[in-house]
Amino acid sequence: MSQPAPYACHVFICVNDRQGQSKSCADGGSPDIRLQLKARLAEKFAGSQVRVSQSRCLGLCGEGPNVLIYPQNLWYSAVSMGDVERIASDIEQLLATPQGT
Ligand code: FES
Cβ neighbours for 42, distance < 8 A, ≥ 6 positions apart:
none
- Distance from residue 100's CA to the centre of ligand 1 (Å): 31
Helix%, strand%, coil% for the chain, nearest 5 = 40, 20, 45
What integer is the mean pLDDT of 20-35? 96
Query: Closest ligand 1 atom, CA of 64?
Result: 2
Task: Assess whether the C-beta atom of 61 lies below 6 angstroms from ligand 1.
Answer: yes
Residues 39-72: tens digit of each pLDDT: 999 998 877 799 999 999 999 999 999 999 999 9
Residue 76 — pLDDT band, cuts 50, 70, 90? very high
Distance from C-alpha of 82 to C-alpha of 71, rounded to nearest angstrom: 24
What pLDDT, on a 0 to 100 scale, did the predictor assign at position 46? Answer: 76
Closest ligand 1 atom, CA of 30? 2
Ligand 1 pocket residue status of 30, Cβ below 6 Å: no
Percent of the chain with pLDDT over 90: 85
Rounded-to-integer distance, Cα 14 and Cα 30, Å: 7
Would the CB of 60 count as within 6 Å of ligand 1?
yes
Confidence of residue 99 (pLDDT cuts 50, 70, 90): low
Atom 1 (ligand 1) nearest CA: 24
Give residue limits of the domains in the chain.
9-79
**pLDDT bracket for residue 100 (50, 70, 90):** low
User: What is the CATH superfamily name and number for domain 9-79?
Assistant: Glutaredoxin (3.40.30.10)
Average pLDDT score, the chain:
93
